[in-house]
Structure 1
């Protein structure tokens, strides 16, 4: 005979990611995609450099908003660490990437505005930036998955 409450097996019932995680990603992601399309155009096209510079502005602004929404005092990272303290190393990595990516965006914009910088150099720098943004987005998605989908049996 069983006495006491019956314990149900633990299942991975995921909480939805917080609204802050959902509200900024499509905008920044769309701006990055627009930058990638501008970069993919032939550099010999008239106004290629100007289009690249024009597309960098919204990426820079969107990324600054992303940093504020994630690192701010009521941001995503505070909530993640509250829900899953084990994610601290991942949050620290993403925070370091924020600084590096913001610097890379500013440097690319500065170099693109200098006369005489070869288009191939700009294309290379912009490609590196896009790869860094892609890796950062993937790491962030992986961290969210780990926080809200993984079931480790009652961590707090």
Structure 2
């Protein structure tokens, strides 16, 4: 593998670990009892804000010209549909996080609204986990490199 691209993959691996940490922080915040009220709301908001930042960085690093997805597809054109799905996920994830943050700005006025907010955020966590699994598979298929499952 080209040393420059190997260094790029290390950047991707490091960022993947950061994204994993922000995802774990959101999961931990969501697992807190809603009855904690303001503390629960603050922890979830902070975790969503960090996740939004990391998702934007993830999108930038993987979708940049000559980046992961374009290179993977150039090496293995059969991965084009998977790469496209990953990029579509990125847009959707950022939109969902922005919507969740917007709900928080508007205020969650009822217990039902808080419960629905928690459910939507929990669903997002699961979707991102599956996205990360597909991403690891894509990278392995293209490069026979394990990008790291723990980060």
The separation in 2 between residues aligned to 1:127 and 1:38, in whole angstroms, is 10
Partner residue, 2:143: 148
- What is the aligned length? 136
RMSD across aligned positions (CA):
1.9
Match of 2:46 in 1: 54
Distance in structure 1 (CA, Å) of the matches to 2:21 and 2:117: 21
Give the corresponding residue for 1:73.
65
The structural deviation recorded for 1:74 is: 3.0
Pick which of 75-84 and 51-60 moved more. 75-84
Q: How does 1:30-41 map onto structure 2 within 5 Å?
A: 30-41=21-32
TM-score by length of 1: 0.80
Query: Which one has the bigger helix percentage?
Result: 2
State the match for 1:102 in structure 2. 94
Task: Give SS of 1:74's match.
Answer: coil
TM-score normalized by structure 2?
0.82
Comparing 17-26 with 133-142, greater Cα deviation is found at 17-26
Runs of 4+ with >2 A deviation: 16-21, 112-115
Structure of greater Rg: 1
Question: Which segments of 5 or more consecutive residues in structure 1 lack a partner in the other structure?
Answer: 1-15, 151-156
- For the pair 1:25 / 2:16, whether they are aligned, the reply is yes
Structure 2 spans left out of the alignment, 5+ residues: 1-5, 146-151
Q: Deviations over 1:99-154 (max 9, x none)?
A: 1111111011111222205321111111111111111111101111211239xxxx
